[in-house]
């Protein structure tokens, strides 16, 4: 079977009139097949496609109520409205679902409800996609909670209340509030960079230690205590990968090359070369091995912010 689902091809800006969430089968039993073949599958086994496509809603309502023996009035009305939505939905609507820990979206092609050996279905106008317009993978854990919470919806179809939020999510754009937060973070990072450059050498060493240990790594030992450099050996506690952090007050390209020669990728998963005052030739260095990363004051400021060390830096430069 050739898969029609895609998240690789670029798409233009995504807009829609209304968005709906659909649960593809009981327990998600139709998710894979629907996404692979470009279909939106639906149940309503006792209703005929002829009645649905002809809009015989009074008859269908009677069938649904007879099935429930008149006991689930609200649920029956909800089922009927959901079926109407699926039958009437056009290309101006967006349909979303969740599969393999990702959000998937598509639009429906014009045409009637059809039926095959599996279930009733409507064809999609384009492949189901699991990427936003900017190419970002729509992983559930990275989605706004107001969108990801739809996974818990117990019925088959519901309208997505937060249309603007979904539109931003699918386009990879930010709200004014998120943009303001990002801008303020960037400004804060700039201030932290200046603060780091004012630190006493010993405070700089301590900051480096705090940043890397806040990342969850375990400090195994302090290396080179009698040398000019202050180095840390770290270990990832679950996998056991080893890392080394070399800290320099001032360094150039020659210092970096010496470090590369001393710490091989066979021994360490990654080597972090942290410099308080880097020379120009160091920051312009190219052809750096994949296992080596230069950590400038700017990068260290970003890491310190993420590690919750803003107040610590504030105290040190007060």
Give the tens place of pLDDT for each residue, 181-199. 999 999 999 999 999 999 9
- Predicted pLDDT of residue 75: 84
In a domain, 122, yes or no: yes
Sort strands 270-278 and 292-295 into parallel, antiparallel or unpaired.
parallel
Do 62 and 83 belong to one domain?
A: yes
Provide the CATH number for the domain around residue 302. 3.40.1350.10
Top pLDDT among 136 and 10 is at: 136
| Final residue in a domain of this structure, among 141, 171, 201 | 171
Least confident of 64-78, 147-161, 258-272: 64-78
Do 160 and 188 belong to one domain?
A: no
Give tens-digit pLDDT for 19-59.
999 999 999 999 999 999 999 999 999 999 999 999 999 99
Do 184 and 283 belong to one domain?
A: yes
In a domain, 88, yes or no: yes
C-alpha to C-alpha distance for 68 and 260, rounded to whole angstroms: 73
Closest C-alpha among 208, 199, 217, 181 to residue 299: 208
Average pLDDT over residues 205-230: 76
- Predicted pLDDT of residue 1: 37
In a domain, 8, yes or no: no
Give tens-digit pLDDT for 224-274.
554 455 578 888 888 888 889 999 888 989 988 888 888 878 888 899 999
Work out the pLDDT band at 7, boundaries 50, 70, 90: very low
Do 186 and 167 belong to one domain?
A: no
- Predicted pLDDT of residue 225: 54
Do 235 and 306 belong to one domain?
A: yes
Percent of the chain with pLDDT over 90: 64
| Final residue in a domain of this structure, among 123, 144, 171 | 171
| Final residue in a domain of this structure, among 123, 138, 171 | 171
DSSP structure class, residue 26: G
Work out the pLDDT band at 309, boundaries 50, 70, 90: very high
Q: Which residues, other chains included, contact 141 with Cβ-Cβ below 8 Å and sequence gap of 6+?
A: 101, 148
Do 289 and 229 belong to one domain?
A: yes
In a domain, 241, yes or no: yes
Closest C-alpha among 124, 127, 57, 129 to residue 90: 124
Do 68 and 87 belong to one domain?
A: yes
Do 73 and 152 belong to one domain?
A: yes
- Predicted pLDDT of residue 226: 45
Number of domains in the chain: 2
Residue 75 main-chain phi, psi, to 5 deg: -65, -40
Distance from the Cα of residue 239 to its chain's centroid = 24
Do 130 and 200 belong to one domain?
A: no
Work out the pLDDT band at 9, boundaries 50, 70, 90: low
Do 275 and 256 belong to one domain?
A: yes
Top pLDDT among 72 and 284 is at: 284
In a domain, 4, yes or no: no
The mean of the pLDDT values for the chain is 89
C-alpha to C-alpha distance for 138 and 99, rounded to whole angstroms: 11
In a domain, 12, yes or no: no
C-alpha to C-alpha distance for 224 and 228, rounded to whole angstroms: 8
In a domain, 2, yes or no: no
In a domain, 9, yes or no: no
Do 141 and 214 belong to one domain?
A: no
The domain in which residue 232 lies consists of 176-316
* 125 has pLDDT over 50: yes
Do 197 and 85 belong to one domain?
A: no
Least confident of 36-45, 70-79, 155-164, 208-217: 70-79
* pTM of the model as a whole: 0.73
C-alpha to C-alpha distance for 277 and 177, rounded to whole angstroms: 35
Average pLDDT over residues 117-129: 96
């Amino acid at each position: 079977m050739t898969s029609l689902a895609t998240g690789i091809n670029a798409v233009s800006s995504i807009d829609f009139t209304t968005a709906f969430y659909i649960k593809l089968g009981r327990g998600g039993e139709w998710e894979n097949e629907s996404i692979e073949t470009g279909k939106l599958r639906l149940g309503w086994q006792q209703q005929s496609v002829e009645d649905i496509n002809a809009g015989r809603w009074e008859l269908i309502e009677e069938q649904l109520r007879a099935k429930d023996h008149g006991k689930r009035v609200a649920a029956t009305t909800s089922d009927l409205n959901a079926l109407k939505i699926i039958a009437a939905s056009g290309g101006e609507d967006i349909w979303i679902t969740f599969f393999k820990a990702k959000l998937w979206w598509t639009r429906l092609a014009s045409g009637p409800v059809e039926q095959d050996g599996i279930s009733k279905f409507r064809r999609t106008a384009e492949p189901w996609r699991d990427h936003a317009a900017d190419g970002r993978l729509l992983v559930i854990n990275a989605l706004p909670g107001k969108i990801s919470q739809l996974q818990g919806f117990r019925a088959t179809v519901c309208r997505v209340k937060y249309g603007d939020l979904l539109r931003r999510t699918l386009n990879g754009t930010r709200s004014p509030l998120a943009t303001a937060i990002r801008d303020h973070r960037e400004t804060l990072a700039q201030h932290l960079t200046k603060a780091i450059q004012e630190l006493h050498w010993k405070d700089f060493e301590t900051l480096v230690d705090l940043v890397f240990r806040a990342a969850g790594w375990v400090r195994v030992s302090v290396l080179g205590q009698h040398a000019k450099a202050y180095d840390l050996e770290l270990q990832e506690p679950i996998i056991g990968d080893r890392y080394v952090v070399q800290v320099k007050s001032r360094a150039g390209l020659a210092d970096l090359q010496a470090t590369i020669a001393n710490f091989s990728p066979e021994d360490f998963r990654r080597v972090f070369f942290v410099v308080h005052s880097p020379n120009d030739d160091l920051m312009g260095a190219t052809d750096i091995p994949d296992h080596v990363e230069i950590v400038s004051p700017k990068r260290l400021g970003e890491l310190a912010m993420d590690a919750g060390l803003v107040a610590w830096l504030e105290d040190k430069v007060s």
